[in-house]
Structure 1
Amino acid sequence: MNNQILKRTILAAVTLLLAMATRAAAAPELPLLPLANETITVTTLHDVTDFSGNQQVADLPGPDGLVSFREAVNAANNTTGPQTIAFAIPTSEFWLITGVALLELEEGPFSLIDSATTVDFSTQTTNIGNTNPNGPEVGIYGLQPNGLGAAAIFVNGTNCVIKGLGNVYQRGYAVKFVGNNNRLIGCQIDGPVYSAISVSGYIGGPTPTGNIIGGTAPGEGNTLTGLDILGPVDGTIVIGNPLLVGVRVEGATRYNVFARNTRIGGTTVAERNVISGNGSYAEEGLPSGSQVNIVDADGTLVEGNYIGTTADGMARYPQQIGPGGIEIRDARGTTVRANLIAGLRSVGVNHYAGQVFGVAVNVAATNSDMDNTVIEGNTIGLAADGVTPILTHSGIVVAPYLLSHHALNTLVATNHIAAVELAGVAVGATESGVKITANSIHDNGRLGINLNGSGNHAQPFPVIQWASTTGSSFSAQGTLDSVPSSQFTIEFFSSPSCDPSGFGEGATFLGSTPLTTDGAGHATFTVTLPASVAAGTTATA
């Protein structure tokens, strides 16, 4: 029988010889939190500075008898040794938001340039009480004119920790990490104009390295409305966060600005991030936005996350508008591995009313070629139990936006793609280097693999003439007509039933066999594989 799914594996020899490198999942242990030998306690939310002398810890407080956050930061910067900045702001000063000590920011950003300083906003709860059951007790409100584009806190030092910060208003970011080996833990931040957190250096300056957003110990994860990791930047780790409403990793290599070696998630449950809820309706009602954007970046690893779903992985994230799961564009050396990606389906409004959008993983190119993208071992369209469908519009799409650029050396392997409305994997008409192998693709609304136009050289599928099973082994015979004198690999699959289209998908990968066509492009195969296949199932290749 003819089987469209076979297009996934029968590629020209030049494709099969591509070296698809993957990276080891192991990562170095997280650095220990700094041990503080001195505590500075903030006792007022007003942005005042009236202490004098060398403006060190010993000079606090000033004549007003109080310590502001700005004074605490300045004192930490000017005093040798690690410090902890704690909070004990009386409720009598609270304003604007009930139960929250909303720090006033009037004199420019709070700039932490010292090393090994911990800013522990959660100490407000310990010292004053749980005045805000819905989140952290301390936030920041920007009152500085023309300060909307800047971060509230700049961390230029090394080995610093920001812990337990709440919402930040009237600023571009809550915290911007510019130094090295800093950490953000236990924060719940909404409100900034751009994103909650930025990890990014200055163009022409040192590259921030080794900064960590989240952690694997209880309480170290963050809930953030937006995380921007923008070049120059290297070695950022994002782990264990219960909700990230959008993550962006972006470089600008044409200007020698690189975003390198970002790791989002990991191999353990504790390292998993939930990345959901991003996006908005753009002009005329078009749903816009992806949960993870990787643009012009190098060596990004996205592993073991729940993307587009609730925290338990069993349903679509209800507030989600953005139709994209993972968008990879103009990037190099990206690996997307062992993630759960589902619920990516959005319906337009206004002029786009009734139109449906959504893609789990989109590999594209606009300004430069993609290279060495690996998409492997992901579950797409199903819940965490591997059975329950979560409505998803389409699976994996490899189709650059411009004809002049391509997705080179792309591997789509060992993914489980099911119950999506459109194709499981779609390859654009101009792409010829997409190796699609050993996936489980079934119960989708359209073809398991859709080679648009001349995608992957419009590779013909083989024809299975007969197939049989003993229960413990599988045998098949058939033919292939394709490129003359070329090497191919034919993969075999079984499914409970044939796809209604007559071009079967492939639910269970059984194995493969090599094959070489003759000078006329014809080849025959007879194969027996040690695979357990029940009688009455459908075979595809």
Structure 2
Amino acid sequence: MRKVLGVTAMCLVISLTQAATYTVTNTKDSGPGSLRWAIGEANVGLDDTIEFDIPTSDPGYDDSLGVWRIWPDSSLPTLTDSGTYINGWTQTTNQGDLNPYGPEIIICGDSLNLEETPDSINGLSIVSSYCKITCLTVCGFPKDGILINEDLVPPDSAPATRNVVLGCYIGTGPLGEIAHPNGGGVNIFGGWTNVIGGPDSTQRNLISGNNGAGIRIDGDSNIVINNYIGCNRQGSGSLGNDYHGINIFHSATPGQGSYYGRSIANKIGGCSADSGNVIVANEGIGIVVYGLGAPDNRVMGNWIGTNPDFDPGLGNKGKAGIHLHWIEGNYVGDTVPGAGNVIVSNSGAGILLWKTGNNVIRGNWIGTDPDTSLLLGNGEDGIRIDYATWDTPCDSNRIERNSIWYNGRDGVRIESKDSSGFIFHNTIGPSNFIWNNDSNGVLIKGYSHEDSATCGNTITKNSITNNGLKGIELDSMGNWEIEAPEIETVSWSPNDSMMVEGTALPFARVEVFTDPAEEGKWPHCFTTADEDGDWIFVTDSLIGTYVTATTTDTFGNTSEFSDTFPNPRPGIEEEPPIVADREGFLQIHPNPSQHGAVIFYELPKAGKISLAIYDASGRLVRLLVNGIETAGRHRINWSGKDETGREVTPGVYFCRLETDGQSVIRKLILIE
């Protein structure tokens, strides 16, 4: 009998917890068919769905906009059971697409009874797992539009994990054109592996116009992809949040639930074309990663300060586009296709590092577009490292393979602002392109001329040219102001090779460059000075009007560029086109590149053409096309190999298109 009763009770529990669907049929604050009622019912069992089918006859329908407004008088129930799905898309399915510009359902906090503690009222709150919220406008709430809160999870309950928010407008009106702010947009407090946004345009959230941050994360392994943060629904007009766009923050205080994380391994954006976020026009910083530790966060493929159309006036207004503060081991960009961030037009620096180490900044465009054709400089430095203490130094950061152009101060600035500030063993290079910045290409500045812990910062294998002041400037004992090498002779040997000879610090590494003026546009190989400081460098050719060099000592300090030495055979840096070139006639992508490139060319009429790759000395590397081609656009892949099938070495190459007795040339740079 006891066994029978036990089985009966078990069956009853299972039947009571089977997934159910509850339909919202009116905009009332309470009672059957209301959203409050539906959430309460869904909290009784697991994996329930809340759908919407509110008729146009409902008093909450606004026929001028095609939307239904739900005005709660008090906080809506928190989602406490796992698997609840609030499906705003069902209103469109059931009643038609009456608002083609956004969600049909609006949850608005304008009518709240603020006898409750105002700062405790969120639009929707989740303290469970596997919940999903889609296609709602959430606006006018004093605290957050959506809160995912591990701190309120009861002990021994499932954590606030794997929740999803898709296709919502948070902080704007239903058309996504004007602000209707919440206190904050989306707040993940302690939750982990939650997803905000999705790859499809219908899954993109618009998180703009809020009085706080667009998204705040204090948790691990959360994903934020393909959202518009700080703009209108079209991604164009300014509609910034009043604080940061995204704030990843480690509070270092465990919650009452099961969260004991450190804001680890969150991912902002991604490598595919449909994963990057547009983060613009916010009053604070675009993205902040802050807190003791907080490692392995990745910021990739985002548009920070602009959108993919490069519309003007969208820069974030805080001290930087991205700010890494008091953290270690994070990644901004990468060389994987699509992983680089575009960080432009922000009021402060492009990227700012404070009290942080072992981070990698790689493969980003900072101050320009991926074609390096637009002047979109950040207001201050491209990258700045300028705040550290003896116990939290800025050390061992790697800045490599970035294009840092057109910024309002230095391309890269490392500056100690305190006598106890230790900024050391950071590496700038290889393969950064630091061009056309208003002040120096690279500035390394200590705190005082008497003593400096701003040292051991290595600058290597970069292209640095045409900056407003110096290519590399050491000031106030930055990098101990080590002496630049001296170039004594540049000569051609009988076997038609070039020799560069000079002196430097004993045992120092010497890198040789060429440049149209006084910097280092084209990096060449390096050599090492002997015990007496003598060094010699031999190469087949050096293109550029002048030869320069840098020294890096055994501690890692790199010098300024040396005095220039005239190149006796400067060559031609880039032959001017003979034909009247126009946009799209001959393009190379990507450029710079690691492994060959795709070459696009357009012919106004059919005819015989030749398309070939040459090295810097004018020798043929690979003949790609030699024959009759039709009029129109064409493309061809170059694998980075010569005529014999061997990989060519990194360096400067030229792509030459000849047709009808005329030619056009484009420079192609292969990097390591």
* Same fold flag (TM > 0.5): yes
Q: Distance in 2 between matches of 1:78 and 1:137?
A: 27
User: In the alignment, what sits opposite 1:458?
Assistant: 480
Trace 1:179-190 onto structure 2 (pairs within 5 A): 179-190=160-171
Secondary structure class of the residue paired with 1:326: strand
User: In the alignment, what sits opposite 1:94?
Assistant: 60
Q: Distance in 1 between matches of 2:167 and 2:490?
A: 57
Secondary structure class of the residue paired with 1:180: coil
Q: Distance in 2 between matches of 1:390 and 1:114?
A: 48
Q: Return closer, same or farther for 1:476/1:75 CA change in 2, 3 Å cut-off.
A: farther
Q: Does 1:85 align with 2:51?
A: yes
Instruction: Answer yes or no: is the 8 Å Cα contact 1:467–1:539 preserved in 2.
Output: no
Instruction: Answer yes or no: is the 8 Å Cα contact 2:354–2:388 preserved in 1.
Output: yes
What's the CA shift for 1:475?
5.3
User: In the alignment, what sits opposite 1:48?
Assistant: 30
Q: Partner letter of residue 194 of structure 1?
A: G
Residue by residue, what CA displacement relative to the aligned partner does 1:28-69 show, whole Å, maximum 9, x if unpaired?
xxxxxxxx96432211222213xxxxxxxxxxx4xxxxx111
Q: Distance in 1 between matches of 2:385 and 2:43?
A: 49
User: In the alignment, what sits opposite 1:139?
Assistant: 106
Q: Distance in 2 between matches of 1:468 and 1:304?
A: 46
Instruction: Answer yes or no: is the 8 Å Cα contact 1:298–1:334 preserved in 2.
Output: yes
User: In the alignment, what sits opposite 1:109?
Assistant: 76
Q: Return closer, same or farther for 1:339/1:80 CA change in 2, 3 Å cut-off.
A: closer
User: In the alignment, what sits opposite 1:249?
Assistant: 248
Q: Partner letter of residue 515 of structure 1?
A: T
User: In the alignment, what sits opposite 1:292?
Assistant: 287
Residue by residue, what CA displacement relative to the aligned partner does 1:320-354 show, whole Å, maximum 9, x if unpaired?
43342001100111111121110013xxxxxxxxx
User: In the alignment, what sits opposite 1:515?
Assistant: 528
Q: Return closer, same or farther for 1:432/1:70 CA change in 2, 3 Å cut-off.
A: same
Instruction: Answer yes or no: is the 8 Å Cα contact 1:315–1:390 preserved in 2.
Output: no
Q: Distance in 1 between matches of 2:194 and 2:148?
A: 8
User: In the alignment, what sits opposite 2:119?
Assistant: 148
CA RMSD of aligned residues (A): 3.1
Q: Does 1:195 align with 2:195?
A: no
Secondary structure class of the residue paired with 1:75: helix
Q: Return closer, same or farther for 1:319/1:381 CA change in 2, 3 Å cut-off.
A: closer
Q: Does 1:223 align with 2:194?
A: no
Q: Return closer, same or farther for 1:479/1:373 CA change in 2, 3 Å cut-off.
A: farther
Instruction: Answer yes or no: is the 8 Å Cα contact 2:365–2:402 preserved in 1.
Output: yes
Q: Partner letter of residue 198 of structure 1?
A: N
User: In the alignment, what sits opposite 1:441?
Assistant: 434
For structure 1, which segment, 38-47 or 82-91, has the greater mean C-alpha deviation from structure 2 after superposition?
Answer: 82-91
Instruction: Answer yes or no: is the 8 Å Cα contact 1:45–1:89 preserved in 2.
Output: no
Q: Distance in 1 between matches of 2:542 and 2:87?
A: 59
For structure 1, which segment, 439-448 or 101-110, has the greater mean C-alpha deviation from structure 2 after superposition?
Answer: 101-110
Q: 1:526 aligned to 537, 550, 569, which one?
A: 537
What's the CA shift for 1:538?
6.3
TM-score of the two chains, using structure 2 as the length reference:
0.60
Percent sequence identity is: 24
Q: Partner letter of residue 425 of structure 2?
A: G
What's the CA shift for 1:402?
5.1
What's the CA shift for 1:381?
0.7
What's the CA shift for 1:427?
0.6
Q: 2:322 aligned to 322, 326, 347, which one?
A: 326
Instruction: Answer yes or no: is the 8 Å Cα contact 1:363–1:400 preserved in 2.
Output: yes
User: In the alignment, what sits opposite 1:172?
Assistant: 143
Residue by residue, what CA displacement relative to the aligned partner does 1:212-232 show, whole Å, maximum 9, x if unpaired?
11111342121112443433x
Instruction: Answer yes or no: is the 8 Å Cα contact 1:165–1:187 preserved in 2.
Output: yes
Trace 1:366-381 onto structure 2 (pairs within 5 A): 370-381=356-367
Q: Distance in 2 between matches of 1:448 and 1:317?
A: 25
Q: Does 1:408 align with 2:395?
A: yes
Q: Does 1:118 align with 2:85?
A: yes
Q: Return closer, same or farther for 1:139/1:536 CA change in 2, 3 Å cut-off.
A: same
TM-score of the two chains, using structure 1 as the length reference:
0.74
Q: Distance in 2 between matches of 1:418 and 1:396?
A: 11
User: In the alignment, what sits opposite 1:25?
Assistant: none
Trace 1:61-72 onto structure 2 (pairs within 5 A): 61=32, 67-72=33-38
Q: Distance in 1 between matches of 2:444 and 2:385?
A: 10
Structure 1's unaligned 5+ residue stretches are: 1-35, 50-60, 62-66, 202-207, 280-288, 346-357
Q: Does 1:364 align with 2:350?
A: no
Trace 1:344-359 onto structure 2 (pairs within 5 A): 344-345=346-347, 358-359=348-349
Q: Partner letter of residue 47 of structure 1?
A: D
Instruction: Answer yes or no: is the 8 Å Cα contact 1:121–1:165 preserved in 2.
Output: yes
Q: Does 1:391 align with 2:371?
A: no
Q: Partner letter of residue 185 of structure 2?
A: A
Instruction: Answer yes or no: is the 8 Å Cα contact 2:315–2:346 preserved in 1.
Output: no
Secondary structure class of the residue paired with 1:115: coil
Q: Distance in 2 between matches of 1:464 and 1:93?
A: 84
What's the CA shift for 1:91?
5.3
What's the CA shift for 1:129?
3.7
Residue by residue, what CA displacement relative to the aligned partner does 1:144-203 show, whole Å, maximum 9, x if unpaired?
4233343221122222211112141133111112311111111121144432101112xx
For structure 1, which segment, 175-184 or 245-254, has the greater mean C-alpha deviation from structure 2 after superposition?
Answer: 245-254
What's the CA shift for 1:124?
2.3
Trace 1:423-434 onto structure 2 (pairs within 5 A): 423-429=410-416, 430=421, 431-434=423-426
Instruction: Answer yes or no: is the 8 Å Cα contact 2:498–2:542 preserved in 1.
Output: no
Q: Distance in 1 between matches of 2:44 and 2:296?
A: 38
Secondary structure class of the residue paired with 1:110: coil
User: In the alignment, what sits opposite 2:571?
Assistant: none
Q: Distance in 1 between matches of 2:128 and 2:311?
A: 41
Q: Does 1:160 align with 2:131?
A: yes
Instruction: Answer yes or no: is the 8 Å Cα contact 2:105–2:136 preserved in 1.
Output: yes
User: In the alignment, what sits opposite 1:336?
Assistant: 332
User: In the alignment, what sits opposite 1:14?
Assistant: none
Q: Distance in 1 between matches of 2:436 and 2:371?
A: 16
What's the CA shift for 1:273?
1.1
Q: Distance in 1 between matches of 2:264 and 2:354?
A: 19
Q: Distance in 2 between matches of 1:249 and 1:398?
A: 19
Secondary structure class of the residue paired with 1:271: coil
Q: Partner letter of residue 166 of structure 2?
A: I
Instruction: Answer yes or no: is the 8 Å Cα contact 1:88–1:123 preserved in 2.
Output: no
User: In the alignment, what sits opposite 1:57?
Assistant: none
User: In the alignment, what sits opposite 2:235?
Assistant: none
What's the CA shift for 1:371?
2.2
Instruction: Answer yes or no: is the 8 Å Cα contact 2:491–2:500 preserved in 1.
Output: no
Instruction: Answer yes or no: is the 8 Å Cα contact 1:150–1:172 preserved in 2.
Output: yes
Residue by residue, what CA displacement relative to the aligned partner does 1:1-48 show, whole Å, maximum 9, x if unpaired?
xxxxxxxxxxxxxxxxxxxxxxxxxxxxxxxxxxx9643221122221
Q: Return closer, same or farther for 1:371/1:131 CA change in 2, 3 Å cut-off.
A: same
Q: Partner letter of residue 199 of structure 1?
A: I
Instruction: Answer yes or no: is the 8 Å Cα contact 1:87–1:127 preserved in 2.
Output: yes
Q: Return closer, same or farther for 1:468/1:311 CA change in 2, 3 Å cut-off.
A: farther
Q: Distance in 1 between matches of 2:392 and 2:74?
A: 47
Q: Distance in 1 between matches of 2:498 and 2:121?
A: 65
Q: Distance in 2 between matches of 1:185 and 1:325?
A: 25
What's the CA shift for 1:135?
2.7
Structure 2's unaligned 5+ residue stretches are: 1-17, 150-159, 172-179, 231-239, 255-259, 334-339, 447-451, 456-478, 551-672
Q: Distance in 2 between matches of 1:411 and 1:474?
A: 34
